[in-house]
Structure formats: C-alpha cells, structure tokens
Homo-oligomer: A and B are copies of this chain.
Amino acid sequence: MSEISRNGVGGGGQSGRIGIGLELDDIHMKILEVLRENGRISVAALAERVGISRASAYTRFEALRADGAIKRFTAEIDHVRAGLGITALIFVTVRQQMWKQFRAELARMPEVEYCAITTGQHDAMIQVRVADVAAVHTMVTDRLANIPAVKATETVFILDEVLKRPYVLPSDHEHDRDRDPGQGRGRSARRPAGEAQGGDVPLGKMRFVGAAEGRAALQKDL
C-alpha cells in the first residue's frame, strides 16, 4: 500500500516523456482494460480476470506502474455533488513566446482541470469546474485577462457531458471477439487505418484546422 516502491521516473513530471520501457503485450493491455474500469480491484482478482497467476499479476502490475503506462489511480468524482456544478471551456490565444508564463499561471489556478495546447484558431483549451457561472466570469475577466501571455479568450459552457470514458485503449478499436492466445496481436497487429476507403463522403462538410502562425513547432519551447 501507500507509496510506490521502485519507481524511479514513473509518475514524475507533468508531461515528461520517458524512454521506451517495456513492450506491452496482450496481457498488459488486458490488465489496463480491467484497471481503468476498476482501479481498486485486488491484484488477485485481476490475475483471475486476466488469466494469469497471482505472482505474474503482481510483477506486471508493478512493471506497468514503474514504466509509467499506469500513471496513477484516481477516483472519479461527481462534480455537481462536490459543489462544482458549472463546467466551461475557455479557448485561449497565447502571445507568442510567453508560453512559459502562461503555463506557470495556469498551475496556480485550482479550478482548471484540464489544459491542452491545440492547433487551430486558438492556442490552448482549458476546462474549468466552478460553483456557478459568476465564477467563470470572474476567472476569465480577472484571472486570465490579467495574464500578459493571454491575448484573447473565448468561453463556452458545457451543457451536458454525454460520455466520459475512463481511458481509451487500442484494444477497444478492434472488436476482437475470438481470442487467439498464440497469435500475439499485441502492438503490431493494429492496422494502420491509413487505407481509408473514404469514397462516399457526402460533401466537404468537415474541416481540418492546422496550426496558426506555425506555432506547432513551438511546443518544446514551453
């Protein structure tokens, strides 16, 4: 229980890339599948569900944590129940070469649950959870607007969260019903999906939005 034992780099930095650790095989994937749905399952029960022995389950479990494939275990909490009924998305345009400052300020905002740097019209999207709409206004108006790095914002409210999956895994994509243990369809059997048979697309109703001002290369600059 308690802390991680032999975890040198595992759940380290915010978005730190770690060198390629272990090769994830089918059993690893199955473990992840079980764990994302029931993070509190015992390793013994996990072993049974995956079809391996207890000792192996412990070994693999530890390996996945140490490797960083499993970053942490968390409880999914009902925001409304917790008193934060309002969720909003704020799209931010960041002034060039002020990303570092933007990031630093962001870390100081506890109401921010998620922030991603995106291509497209805006530079970043942040998701906030607050108690009421006034708090959104306060946040955008007082906090964000006062950050020099923030050039402009655009706010939308989330009316309903239609679906929220724990974590998507490659095994979800290919709907294998027939299990072939000896086949080893681990990392390689995933078909590239590049052979798009897209011939009967109705019209050009979709739009891909590339990076504005060639900002894409700037992500390391943070």
Which residues from B are CB-within-8-Å of A170?
82-84, 131
- Interface size in chain A (residues, C-beta < 8 A): 114
Q: Given contacts A74-B73, A173-B111, are A206 and B32 in contact (CB under 8 A)?
A: no
* Identical copies in the complex: 2
User: Does A177 sit at the interface, judged by CB under 8 A?
Assistant: no
A112: min CB distance to chain B, Å: 7
In this assembly, does A89 line the interface, its C-beta being within 8 Å of a C-beta of chain B?
yes
> Which single member of B80, B144, B196 contacts A142 (CB below 8 Å)?
B196
Query: Using an 8 Å CB-CB cutoff, how does the interface string of A33-52 with B read, 1 for contact, 0 for none?
Result: 00111111110010000000
Task: Flag if A115 contacts B161 (CB, 8 Å).
Answer: yes
User: What is the distance, in angstroms, from A105's C-beta to the closest C-beta of chain B?
Assistant: 11
User: Which residues of A are at the interface with B, using a C-beta cutoff of 8 A?
Assistant: 1-2, 14-15, 17, 21, 24, 29, 32, 35-42, 45, 67-84, 87, 89, 103, 106-107, 110-121, 124-125, 128-132, 134-135, 137-138, 140-142, 144-146, 150-170, 172-173, 175, 187, 190, 192-194, 196-198, 200-202, 205-209, 211, 216, 219, 222
Q: Which of B42, B116, B128, B166 contacts A72 (CB 8 A)?
A: B166
A145's partner among B152, B158, B206, B222 (CB-CB below 8 A) is: B206
On whether the beta carbons of A168 and B24 are closer than 8 Å, the reply is no
Which residue of B35, B67, B162 is within 8 Å of A115 (Cβ)? B162
Q: Are B132 and A194 in contact (CB under 8 A)?
A: yes
Query: Could you tell me the distance in whole angstroms from the C-beta of A108 to the nearest C-beta in chain B?
Result: 10
Inter-chain CA distance A39–B65, complex, in Å, is: 14
Main secondary structure on A side of the interface with B = mixed
Q: A45-B1, A193-B134 are in contact. Are A162 and B14 (CB under 8 A)?
A: yes
* Selected contact of A40 from candidates B39, B68, B194, B206, CB within 8 Å: B39
**A167 to B134, Cβ gap below 8 A?**
no
Report the minimal beta-carbon distance from A200 to chain B, rounded to whole angstroms: 7
- A71→B200 CA distance, assembly (Å): 41
A116 touches B162 (CB 8 A): yes
Distance in Å from the Cβ of A101 to the closest Cβ of chain B? Answer: 13
CA distance A165 to B156 in the complex (A): 20
